[in-house]
Chains A and B, each alone.
Chain A
């Protein structure tokens, strides 16, 4: 190696490696962070920026049109409304990361809601047991989809299209002629979306969440610095911590003005955070991204691609089933059209609006939260303005189109960059 090391490079073997001169290091100063931002905007790597700007814009517009839009009551209702479809979106995101699609999520949610209601009410097992069974049914359904897709090679699009039809059939069959099963409004199922935490609990969660984030960031960056790697400056850590703390404490403050932090929203956010950590910080998550970015390369690296695919479809359907459980909880009943409406469209739209690519391999779990809030805000705002479904569908379509356009554009700009050699 000696003969090729440039003379100017005087670093010893163990010392931190000198940065390449082509690397534009701009992370340390405020001006540098701004410059990085500008470069990213031009390069098409926008991350969550467009959707955050969009969300703020939507909120400002609706608040100007209706003074109760940003009221604690409306915002609190909004967070409960987005939870069910939000869980389904989290599952869809996993499938989109593989570069596949799951069209069955609405029907799986419906089938799970029927399993839940029939077990809890007609069979009469404890409600917690019924919840677990419904989620388990979702998992089994997803594993079935995944196995047919991965092992037999039927396109996921077709497998889940069959699922869309088939599981709705199961739902109708289970619910039978009466069509609707009402659940107890005091049991565990109803509690999922009708429980609010006392203010101190909400504050506690916010403090713990932000505290854990700051602590892990500090420790992580210190380790990076100790290993001689590029680390965030204290200023950048502060900015990032603030960027998390402001929305977290802000939400808790607003929600506490009404009834407190809703359990349903906490469940949703909890799953988003858990899946985000799983995707970014574990080997499993890395493998999901690898399969989505290049299944053959992943296979050659020794990754069990079939297992990853089957497990992702399993998780996605399990989350759909949980979404179905929350739908039952909110309406105190499972009916023939639970999950049969716009849930499928909205879940996929939310994932894409939130910034997860339709082309596979790019995205994150937070898309579910951001995209869900955008769609929820539009729904809620138009409801306040007493505009109905037609307008909402048209506006949602427009937002979706913008999101997909951004996705396609950034994909194209990356492909152009990739034509280097």
Chain B
């Protein structure tokens, strides 16, 4: 984790009268998992969309592998090697699993779609992630929420990315699938990718993240080494006060003072 692969500085983004991001900095190195934390509406998804080129920033600098880059469209981010798993609207419901996996990066042979090659690689990819799907040729509209999330994550890995952004990837998943996704994230780190993980689940964050960057009301509110920081410190940064609903609650009920809700 020497040189940062992605380095953001002074990122600001307005939506009309709402300043969703205000002078935000964030770095992630190769082989590092950074948890991006913050309450609802803190600006986490907005920051992810800035990095992914979905909603370009109003101002601020982006360095990718030390080079100044501008990311104005999703294609720019893809070209750089930034893959994103969005919280919402990630898949085309009418297309089947294979088509969704290869959306935008379809394989062709002689100008026509190479369905055989795509299906073969899709099977192999899902198999390498230990993912089982009844059929790869059903529209994703018919999949469960967890299955859809897995497909969205698997898709981001096809392009051999250098940085992976995951916006609440485990929010809708069952126990086993959550563990699977966390395994997956560790495997990405071991392969030397930079991972930015958004999650409200502190147990997940503790399990896989190296650093935790906290946003509050669109501003940086702390950057912690997860191993050396207590749960309370991070929660205080997220809520902005040592006297906050979480600590008040844990004082009332000491038995629940664990990281898992």
Which residues of A are interface residues toward B (Cβ below 8 A)?
Answer: 1, 4-5, 13, 17, 20, 22-23, 220, 223-224, 227-229, 277, 280-283, 286, 289-290, 292-294, 296-304, 360-362, 414-415, 417-418, 420-421
Contacts and interface: CB of A to CB of B under 8 A. Distances in A.
Contacts of B90: 297, 300
B143 to A, nearest CB: 6
Given A418-B142, A421-B148, A13 B93 contact: no
Interface in B26-72: 52, 54
Contacts of A360: 94
Interface residues of B, number: 51
A283 B108 contact: yes
Contact of A297 (B75, B92, B142): B92
Nearest to B73: A302
Given A20-B132, A289-B94, A296 B89 contact: yes
Given A13-B127, A301-B103, A414 B139 contact: yes
Contact of A302 (B78, B89, B134, B183): B78
Given A227-B119, A294-B93, A303-B104, A421 B146 contact: yes
B170 interface: no
Given A22-B134, A292-B94, A294-B91, A1 B113 contact: no
Given A228-B120, A294-B89, A5 B130 contact: yes
B86 A300 contact: yes
B113 A282 contact: yes
B147 interface: yes
Interface of B: 52, 54, 73-75, 78, 84, 86, 89-95, 99, 103-106, 108, 111-113, 116-117, 119-120, 123-124, 127-130, 132-135, 139, 141-148, 172, 180, 183, 187
Chain B CB within 10 Å, residue with most, of A13, A23, A292: A23
Q: 4 closest A-B pairs (Cβ-Cβ)?
A: A421-B145, A293-B94, A421-B144, A420-B144
Contacts of B133: 20
Nearest to B128: A1
B130 A227 contact: no
Nearest to A25: B135
Contact of A361 (B78, B94, B103, B142): B94
B119 A286 contact: no
A229 B123 contact: yes
A325 B209 CA distance: 65
Contacts of B135: 20, 23
Contacts of A294: 89, 91-94
Contacts of A421: 143-148, 172
B123 A17 contact: yes
B123 A301 contact: no
A282 B111 CA distance: 7
A22 B133 CA distance: 8
B116 A227 contact: yes
A420 to B, nearest CB: 4
A4 B183 contact: yes
B104 A293 contact: no
Contact of B141 (A1, A296, A299, A417): A417
